[in-house]
Amino acid sequence: MVTEVIKAKELQKLDPVFGQLSFDNHEQIVFCNDKDTGLKAIIGIHNTVLGPSLGGTRMWQYNSEWDALNDVLRLSRGMTFKSAITGVNLGGGKAVIIGDAKTQKTPELMLRFGEFVHSLGGKYITAEDVGMTTSDMDLVRTVTPYVTGISEEKGGAGNPSPITAYGVFMGMKAAAKYKFGTDDLENKVVYVQGIGNVGEALVEHLSDEGAKVYISDINQERLEEVRDKYHATIYTGNNLYSEDMDIYAPCALGATVNDHTIGQLKAKVIAGAANNQLADEQKHGRLLREQGIVYAPDFLINAGGIINVYAELENYGKQEIMRKTENIFNTTLEILTNAETNDVTTHKAALDIAQSRINSRRKEN
């Protein structure tokens, strides 16, 4: 009996790789381990129909390796649809490194990670994400050409965060126009949750437009810095979701729109930079629609970063980067209108367009 229980537990541990919900017919999952540097990383390659998979590397202290796997699966899938809907010829990939970026990231670890990326022969191209910097990408570039987001001094497009934030701002303005009849955000109450590089740049745009910006983050020092720079208000309550606001902008980790928060939300628009904001895409997308909350699909409006790094592969300049990023406004408005016309969630409307492009390319091949 004890032996049977042990076997059952062993089988249970084996199941989640292919069996968990986040697995969506991913083409390849690569587990990277190096004892000397302490590297433990996972590379997820979701789809390469449109081109090589591209997505940033995130370094995070996950609670478990299963959490890390789930994150890389969800993120790489999101990158597939982000590239498809943006019109770039890239597939979806992502990487996560398990560890604390502040205390465990070393040059040796990053170089070893770069070697793992190189071993894939270009099927996966990495870039900057949470816990990473442009200088990290410069370092990885010394061992593999399959990296974007390198510094402008080394011929790259630089830090993608400002462009990502600008795309989110464009998507937010489009959602505001759809909901309120105007894209003018002056005096609109906006709660920005997560003040990393993208969150801060978004706060700057909102402040310049005259919005009433409230900011939230686990880093108090960071909050005070951003407050002082842009005259934002630090949120000091204990339940941000229940506050009266016009726009909720999640810019930290995903799944903040979930069973617990969705009934409390008083926002009229959700438009932020975080990936995978809906814990359950179908269920929570439908509930938002029923509550009359306009949701600007995350993988659409946070696509400025992919536009920025794609410039390195296609050799187009800042002017074209900005033009493509500004077009997120038009695409968002089109998708929100299509969702209403076809009586579907905004997430599904966006997903259908992205999937259609992938399907068309697959038929061509």
**Residues involved in catalysis:** 94
Question: Using CA atoms, how far apart are residues 276 and 262, in angstroms rounded to an integer?
Answer: 15
Long-range contacts at 333-338 (CB < 8 A, ≥ 24 apart): 333/174, 333/177, 333/178, 335/297, 335/300, 336/174, 336/175, 336/178, 336/294, 336/296, 337/178
Strand duo 189-193 + 124-128: pairing: unpaired
Three-state DSSP class for 194? coil
Q: What is the DSSP string of 294-312?
A: EE--HHHHTTHHHHHHHHH
β-bridge partners, 53 = 91, 124
Q: At what angle do helices 161-180 and 197-209 cross, to 10 degrees?
A: 50
Q: Whose CA is closest to 110, among 137, 84, 90?
A: 137
Q: Hey, how many other C-beta atoms are within 10 angstroms of the C-beta on 287?
A: 18
Question: Using CA atoms, how far apart are residues 78 and 82, in angstroms rounded to an integer?
Answer: 6
| Residue 170 token pair | 């464009």
| Residue 191 token pair | 């709660």
Query: Phi/psi of residue 341, each to 5°?
Result: -60, -40
Q: Which residue has the tokens 């899938």?
A: 77
Query: Phi/psi of residue 360, each to 5°?
Result: -65, -40
Cα dihedral: 177, 183, 185, 191 (round 10): 40
Is the separation of the CB atoms in 59 and 101 below 8 Å? yes
Q: Hey, how many other C-beta atoms are within 10 angstroms of the C-beta on 276?
A: 19
